[in-house]
Amino acid sequence: MNKVIQLKVVDVVVWAVSLLFAFGLLIGEAMADSDSFTATNKKWAAECGSCHIAYPPQLLPAASWRRIMAGLDRHFGSDASLDAASAAEIGAFLERNAGHGKRGRGEPLRITESRWFLHKHDEVRASAWKNPQVKSAANCGACHAGAARGDFDDDAVRIPR
Q: Interface with another protein by CB under 8 A: which residues?
A: 51-53, 73, 76-83, 135-136, 138-139
Q: Could you give the count of Cα atoms lying within 13 Å of 91 in the half-sphere of its Cβ?
A: 17
Q: Minimum CB separation from another protein for residue 139, in Å? A: 6
Is the Cβ of residue 83 or residue 122 nearer to another protein in the bound state? 83
Is the Cβ of residue 24 or residue 49 nearer to another protein in the bound state? 49
Is the Cβ of residue 45 or residue 82 nearer to another protein in the bound state? 82
Q: Minimum CB separation from another protein for residue 132, in Å? A: 9
Is the Cβ of residue 5 or residue 77 nearer to another protein in the bound state? 77
- If DSSP states are collapsed to H, E and C, what string results for the chain? CHHHHHHHHHHHHHHHHHHHHHHHHHHHHHHHCCCECCCCCHHHHHHHCCCCCCCCHHHCCHHHHHHHHHCHHHECCECCCCCHHHHHHHHHHHHHCCCCHHHHCCCCCCHHHCHHHHHHCCCCCHHHHHCCCCCCCCCHHHCECCHHHCECCHHHECCCC
Q: Minimum CB separation from another protein for residue 77, in Å? A: 6
Q: Minimum CB separation from another protein for residue 31, in Å? A: 29
